[in-house]
């Protein structure tokens, strides 16, 4: 059973549309992350979220992206106006404490295809 | 800024042969180092990690890695490769200064031939 459940597993959207990707951790942890992996490329850090606030974000995470944990359980990544280059696999992950304290537990990913 | 370099994009080894995947990192403080494996269509799974202490660390599936500070390296090894080891392997360094993030290398794809 995965430590983190992500939905949807695959989403196809038109360029310019808004997309929300969801992540539900199995247990109640405080540290969450979003990573993305463009097909055949490296896993890239997007954002870390700690105690209901963004802890750090990469240069990829521009104004088109946002994260929140609206109900204390689901952790969402929103892309406001998708571009073709947003097509990628998006992974949610969590750690029991900060990332230097142990391993990242990844979900199985949400594949986003922007047409 | 921290970075991770995996110089080999792909490696092919024969089943039963030994394996070494290279990883070099750049980070100003004490690094927290990891190796993850990704099978096709799957998320990443931790193989092993180094925080401190013994520089030779053991992981799952018979893998080990050695931290060499003088070379800024954290190479992954396995004495005898199995066909099921074919996957993508990512070296990573975690930071805990100011923010929380883990930086991954570009990955090395391992092919295993019979």
Place of tokens 């980070």: B27
From B11-25, B36-50, B94-108, the region with the lowest mean pLDDT:
B94-108
> Could you identify the residue written with the tokens 């310019």?
A16
- Asked if the Cβ–Cβ distance from A104 to B46 is below 8 Å, we say yes
Q: Do B95 and A99 touch (CB under 8 A)?
A: yes
Which percentage of chain B shows pLDDT scores above 90? Answer: 69
Rounded distance between C-alpha atoms, residue A36 and residue A28, angstroms: 23
Cβ A42–B107 below 8 Å, yes or no? yes
CA distance B94 to chain A (A): 5
Does residue A14 surpass a pLDDT of 90?
yes
Strand, helix or coil for residue B47: strand
Residue of A nearest to B48 (CA): A103
Query: Using CB atoms, which residue from B46, B98, B104 is nearest to A43?
Result: B104
Task: Place A105 in a pLDDT band, splitting at 50, 70 and 90.
Answer: confident
Half-sphere exposure of A66 (CA within 13 A, CB side): 11
- Please tell me the predicted confidence (pLDDT) of residue A2: 58
pLDDT confidence tier of residue B23, bands split at 50, 70 and 90? very high
Q: A109 with B43: CB under 8 angstroms?
A: yes
CA nearest to B43 within chain A: A108
Contact B101 A99 (CB under 8 A): yes
CA distance between the termini of chain A: 32
Mean pLDDT, all residues of chain B: 90
For residue B99, what pLDDT is reported? Answer: 56
Give the per-residue pLDDT at B98. 53
Contacts of B44 in chain A (CB under 8 A): 43, 91, 104, 106
Contacts of A53 (CB under 8 A, 6+ apart): none
Here the tokens at position A90 are 């998006």
Which pLDDT band holds residue A96 (cuts at 50, 70, 90)? confident
CB–CB contact A55 B100 (8 Å): yes
pLDDT in tens, A26-65: 666 678 899 999 988 889 999 988 877 898 899 999 999 9
């Amino acid at each position: 059973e995965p430590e983190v459940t992500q939905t949807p597993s695959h989403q196809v959207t038109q360029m310019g549309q808004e997309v929300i990707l969801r992540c539900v951790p199995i247990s109640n942890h405080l540290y969450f992350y979003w990573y993305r992996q463009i097909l055949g490329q490296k896993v890239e850090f997007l954002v870390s979220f700690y105690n209901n606030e963004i802890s750090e974000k990469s240069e990829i995470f521009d104004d088109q992206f946002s994260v929140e944990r609206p109900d204390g359980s689901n952790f969402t990544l929103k892309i406001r106006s998708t571009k073709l280059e947003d097509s990628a696999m998006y992974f949610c992950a969590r750690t029991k404490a900060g990332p230097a304290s142990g391993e990242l537990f990844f979900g199985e990913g949400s594949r986003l295809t922007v047409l | 800024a921290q970075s991770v370099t995996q110089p080999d994009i792909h490696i092919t080894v024969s089943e039963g042969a030994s394996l070494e995947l290279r990883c070099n990192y750049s980070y100003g403080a004490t690094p927290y180092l990891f190796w993850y494996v990704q099978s096709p269509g799957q998320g990443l799974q931790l193989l092993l990690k180094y925080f401190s202490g013994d520089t030779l660390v053991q992981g799952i599936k018979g893998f080990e890695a050695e931290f060499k500070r003088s070379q800024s390296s954290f190479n992954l090894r396995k004495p005898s490769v199995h066909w099921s080891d074919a996957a993508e392997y990512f070296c990573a360094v975690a930071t805990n200064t100011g923010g929380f993030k883990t930086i991954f290398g570009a990955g090395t794809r391992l092919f295993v031939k019979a």
